[in-house]
């Protein structure tokens, strides 16, 4: 049962990101911004042709190929972790990491760029220019969960 829950979480998160990316692609022009309620966050349509913060944007094949390889490695580790007993946090960490990796890799393979759509208003231009998508947050949170899980598993040994 735990396997089905973890797989459901991974699939559900991936689906949420793909739906939001599709919404932004269809309903907003590239570069367009819309406020999200009365918060400092904005919906912003950006095409990221590189990796994090557009790194390697001049090398699209390298970005795409490394994304595919990394996603396959993460997926393999996720599937390997799924069959283990217990280790719920490890499974959830890999579920988020896998959803994030697949979400961004699908974009890179189908469009040649990743659609980013979550920005934040700031008086610091460097911060204001950064735009994310849900897959990016899944990657960050998944890595954090795996890091915490590894600390606790090391302490038990």
Residues known to be catalytic = 116, 136
> Is the separation of the CB atoms in 111 and 34 below 8 Å?
no
d(C-alpha 140, C-alpha 145), whole Å: 9
> Is the separation of the CB atoms in 52 and 100 below 8 Å?
no
CB atoms within 10 A of CB 11: 14
- Cβ-Cβ contacts under 8 Å for 1 (sequence gap 6 or more): none
The three-class DSSP label of residue 43 is strand
């Amino acid at each position: 049962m735990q396997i089905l829950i973890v797989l459901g979480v991974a699939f559900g998160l991936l689906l949420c990101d793909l739906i939001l990316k599709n919404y932004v692609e269809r309903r907003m022009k590239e570069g367009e911004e819309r406020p999200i309620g009365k918060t400092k966050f904005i919906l912003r349509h950006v095409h990221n042709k590189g990796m994090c913060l557009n790194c390697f944007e001049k090398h699209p094949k390298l970005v795409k190929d490394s994304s595919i390889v990394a996603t396959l490695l993460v997926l393999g580790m996720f599937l390997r972790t799924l069959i283990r007993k217990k280790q719920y946090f490890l499974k959830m960490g890999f579920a988020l990491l896998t959803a994030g990796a697949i979400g961004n890799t699908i974009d890179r393979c189908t469009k040649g760029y990743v659609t980013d759509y979550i920005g934040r208003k700031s008086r610091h231009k460097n911060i204001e220019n950064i735009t994310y998508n849900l897959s990016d947050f899944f990657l960050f949170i998944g890595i954090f969960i795996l890091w915490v899980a590894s600390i606790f598993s090391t302490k038990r040994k």
